[in-house]
């Protein structure tokens, strides 16, 4: 009679747990009469590694002390480095009893297995040979109970018990798609990290900012095009708060050109609109020469003028990269100079 020490080591891939559990329950426990203390099988709580202990260390010790090493070889099993290592150790000690899963071909075997006679787990001869091996190491395997266990095992196979399938090998098209998705994900991650760092830099600038201008500067993004978009949108937003003639007066001031009240006969709408804004106080009209000037005491006028100056300053060609200048010209089809009315109209 065998002792209660764990003497049979069942080597398997964790992915094959359902298939291997049927093997252990039907053949080793039900058929051979082994108790759980006589089996080392990591996929069951009462036959595996005790809680809190090192998995690999326990597996190494059990593999080294067991009297029989049953390797349930499946397609997945051969892809697991730990399983392959266990297989080699058992082969070296001449304790190896490998069994292939049904449907596997010998041509699929790798490592130490191709040179051995190995059969599938639905083969009566290999199952009866397993019973004999168990008897040789001291287990009293009754023929009747073994026959019952073997029948139950083969019935489970017919009912669909099978090892896990290997994942399908991806096609070239699938690999290319995955590579493309990975690149896109990495690009998105890089962009997110860039934006995060940009925000951190802005926060640092805000903490040091002492004036309104410094706060505004700190809030702008660092990327050239993003910075342009932010300044441009801020300028457009402030210009929406003033009338067209006030906006025109802002352009004249930004470009360093004089603006004059047009003759009513030539441009009646513009003439009347300027005088209306002069009544409200947003514009001043010199009675002698008709020169039109802004009244920046109005907050919306001051904000729009400040924003326009910032945009004009940003667009100085000497301060911009060649890449940005090329993009700007291609995008807007105008010179990058806000003093030119065509540029003003195109971007604002």
Helix axes 124-136, 143-158, angle to 10 degrees: 140
Rounded to an integer, the average pLDDT of 111-118 is: 67
Query: CA-CA distance, 238 to 122, in Å (whole number)?
Result: 82
Q: What is the pLDDT of residues 19-66, one digit of tens each?
A: 999 999 999 999 999 998 898 887 544 433 444 444 455 556 666 678
How many Cβ atoms sit within 10 Å of the Cβ of residue 52? 5
120 — pLDDT class (breaks 50, 70, 90): very high
Helix axes 268-280, 244-255, angle to 10 degrees: 90
- Residues 6 or more apart whose CB falls under 8 angstroms from that of 69 comprise 9, 11, 63, 86, 90, 93, 95, 96, 97
Of 187-201, 257-271, 304-318, 324-338, minimum mean pLDDT range: 187-201
- In angstroms, what CA-CA distances link 338 with 1, 297, 327? 99, 24, 16
pLDDT of residue 219: 54
Q: What is the pLDDT of residues 133-144, one digit of tens each?
A: 999 999 999 999
pLDDT for residue 214 is more than 60: no
pLDDT of residue 56: 57
Sign of the torsion formed by the C-alpha atoms of 27, 30, 31 and 36 = positive
pLDDT of residue 57: 58
Would you say 41 and 7 are in contact if contact means Cβ atoms under 8 Å apart? no
Tell me the percentage of the chain whose pLDDT exceeds 90: 49
Query: CA-CA distance, 74 to 163, in Å (whole number)?
Result: 7
Query: CA-CA distance, 44 to 59, in Å (whole number)?
Result: 14
pLDDT of residue 7: 81
Q: What is the pLDDT of residues 296-330, one digit of tens each?
A: 899 999 999 999 999 999 998 788 888 888 999 99
């Amino acid at each position: 009679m065998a002792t209660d020490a764990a003497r049979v080591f069942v080597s398997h891939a964790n992915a094959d747990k359902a298939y291997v559990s049927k093997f252990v329950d039907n053949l080793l426990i039900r058929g051979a009469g082994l108790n759980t203390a006589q089996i080392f099988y990591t996929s069951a709580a009462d036959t595996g590694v005790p809680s809190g202990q090192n998995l690999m260390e326990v597996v190494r010790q059990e593999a080294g002390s067991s009297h029989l090493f049953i390797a349930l070889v499946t397609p997945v099993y051969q892809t697991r480095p730990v399983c392959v290592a266990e297989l080699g150790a058992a082969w070296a000690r001449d304790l190896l009893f490998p069994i292939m899963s049904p449907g596997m071909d010998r041509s699929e075997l790798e490592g130490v297995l191709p040179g051995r006679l190995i059969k599938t787990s639905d083969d009566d001869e290999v199952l009866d040979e397993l019973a004999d091996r168990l008897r040789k190491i001291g287990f009293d395997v009754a023929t009747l109970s073994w026959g019952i266990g073997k029948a139950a095992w083969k019935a489970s196979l017919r009912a669909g018990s099978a090892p896990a399938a290997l994942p399908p090998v991806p096609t070239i098209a699938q690999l290319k798609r995955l590579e493309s998705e990975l690149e896109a994900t990495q690009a998105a991650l890089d962009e997110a990290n860039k934006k995060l760092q940009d925000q951190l830099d802005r926060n640092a600038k805000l903490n040091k900012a002492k004036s309104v201008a410094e706060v505004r500067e700190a809030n702008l993004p660092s990327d050239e095009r993003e910075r342009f978009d932010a300044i441009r949108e801020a300028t457009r937003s402030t210009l929406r708060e003033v009338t067209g003639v006030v906006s025109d007066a802002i352009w004249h001031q930004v470009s360093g050109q004089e603006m004059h009240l047009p003759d009513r006969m030539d441009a009646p709408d513009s003439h009347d609109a300027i005088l209306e804004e002069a009544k409200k106080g947003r514009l001043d009209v010199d009675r002698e020469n008709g020169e039109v000037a802004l009244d920046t005491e109005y907050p919306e006028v001051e904000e729009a003028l400040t924003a326009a100056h910032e945009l004009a300053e940003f667009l100085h060609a000497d301060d911009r990269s060649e890449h940005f200048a090329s993009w700007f010209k291609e995008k807007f089809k105008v010179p990058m100079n806000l003093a030119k009315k065509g540029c003003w109209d195109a971007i604002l």
